[in-house]
A and B are shown apart, each in its own frame.
Chain A
Amino acid sequence: MREIPDFDIYIPSSLSDALDYLSNEGKEAFVIAGCTDFIPMVKRGRIRPIKVLDISHLRELRYITLDSGFIKIGALTTISDLVNSPVFDNRYGGIKSLERYFGVITTRNMATVGGNLASGGERDLIQIFLALDAQVKIRSLQNERVTSPTEAKPNLGELITEITFKDIGADSCMEFSKFEKRAANGISVCTAAVTLKISDNLVEDVKIVVNRVKGREPGRLYRVEESIIGKRIEDAINDVDIMVKSEVDPAGDFRGSKKFRKEITKVLVKRTLIKCIRTITGGVDRV
């Protein structure tokens, strides 16, 4: 482990002060929030910051609201805030499940939503927000853009400010499952995030996301989704695993070979769909 090098730190008084700093004297600055990725990266020598912008105290970026059918989450919302928010009832089992799947209690108390998206890779919220069809708002002093959770890596001078998605509504459920080697270190082998809407026992809409669709890229399984929309839920469940296995092409590594990951992903997607169905049908076991 390396020593943390000396750096200049700027503590902004507001979001606009932070954006101003980033577009002027802080052009090369590294943004920090919960530091759960930042400090390990510095200690492992992966980054050597010279200037740092600390946004951790900006309360204006820490909120969860439900307004006119849209949920808005400020970038500095922590994982614990998500888990404990009354906005997320049992239809959002995937968000509640972060209490089990996301790091440990200290990580959840410190890690922010914006930091998770900015760090990218196979991090959990990217997949959860992808399954919720969320949009990520990214701001610089001059500009504001909206992007998908997989494209949310900010450029220099930019800050992630908000995540928005449409409330999933009635007869719907969002669930998440994760297979990991050790409960506390957070690095997934395989994950599945599913949002399902049922109407009259038929699949009305579904979004299925896995951590490695191809190589190391997280993404949606569009072909699998299309093939089960309109089906009776029992039939949808019956066919889904074979199809998932043929659609994913994950890179293997020391945590799991390609073959192993395909098998586990297949099982996780099926189980996650079943979890959704059980929640929507009130726990009635029909699958």
Chain B
Amino acid sequence: MKFLNLRLKINGEEKIIRVGSRERLLDLLRRLGYKSVKEGCSTGDCGSCNVLVDGVLVNSCLMLAIQARNREITTVEGFVTGRKLHPLQESFLEFAASQCGYCIPGILVTAEYLLSVNPNPSEEEIRRILVGNICRCGGYTKIVEAIRTASLLSRERR
């Protein structure tokens, strides 16, 4: 078949959507308006398309939309509750960790994944996971500081 009606959840919302076999998860998400998901390299090298699938960090440019059937997708749009930003987003604002911003959604999703598997990462661990996220504007120092601070703040809150 060339088309399939998929059932999946995006940021907690159930959806049934008709997708083409050639559509990548990245294409589907952008078609549905989740524009935080960016296309950079298309080959798994830059991390700007990163999303969570059932809580696991993947490159949405390397997954066919059909492969996301019956799964739960999280993008940065799902980080916001009402008008309240996610602690990572607050921290990125606080540190002015973003310049043009193209790479930032991918980095935020990566950071969220890191904190889900390792709530108190060291600077080294943050830097290591970020080798898969390319930022061509600035340095990584503010990004690393923002993630580290967000992890400390959310620990205090717990």
Contact = CB atoms under 8 A, between A and B. Distances in A.
Interface of A: 1, 3-11, 32, 34-36, 39-40, 43-44, 52, 54, 56-57, 103-107, 109-110, 183-185
A32 B62 contact: no
Contacts of B2: 6-9
A110 B45 contact: no
B22 A39 contact: no
Contacts of B66: 9, 11, 54
A35 B64 contact: yes
Contacts of A5: 22
B1 A35 contact: no
A192 B67 CA distance: 35
B56 A184 contact: no
Nearest to A110: B58
Nearest to A4: B22
B20 A6 contact: yes
Contacts of A40: 42-44, 62
A105 B129 CA distance: 7
Interface in B2-47: 2, 4, 20-22, 24, 42-45, 47
Given A54-B66, A107-B44, A110-B58, A6 B1 contact: no
Nearest to A33: B67
B110 interface: yes
A56 B131 contact: no
A11 B50 CA distance: 25
A39 B45 contact: no
Give the top 9 A-B pairs by smallest Cβ distance, nearest first: A104-B132, A9-B21, A4-B22, A40-B43, A184-B131, A106-B59, A39-B62, A183-B131, A35-B62
B57 interface: yes
B124 to A, nearest CB: 12
B28 to A, nearest CB: 13
B44 A52 contact: no
B108 interface: no
A185 B43 CA distance: 10
A6 B21 contact: yes
B45 A184 contact: yes
A9 B4 CA distance: 9
A54 B66 CA distance: 9
B104 to A, nearest CB: 16
B57 to A, nearest CB: 6
A43 B21 contact: no
A109 B58 contact: yes
Nearest to A10: B1
A43, A44, A104, A184, most chain B CB atoms within 10 A: A104
Given A9-B2, A184-B131, A103 B67 contact: no
A9 B24 CA distance: 13
Contacts of A35: 62-64, 67
B97 interface: no
A8 B21 contact: yes
Given A8-B2, A54-B67, 4 more contacts: A6-B2, A11-B66, A110-B62, A110-B63
Nearest to B39: A1
Nearest to B43: A40
A7 B22 contact: yes
Contacts of A34: 62
Contacts of A184: 45, 131-132
B61 interface: yes
Contacts of B132: 103-107, 184
B21 A39 contact: no
Contacts of A39: 24, 42-44, 61-64
10 contacts: A8-B1, A11-B4, A32-B64, A35-B63, A39-B44, A57-B67, A105-B57, A106-B57, A107-B132, A109-B58
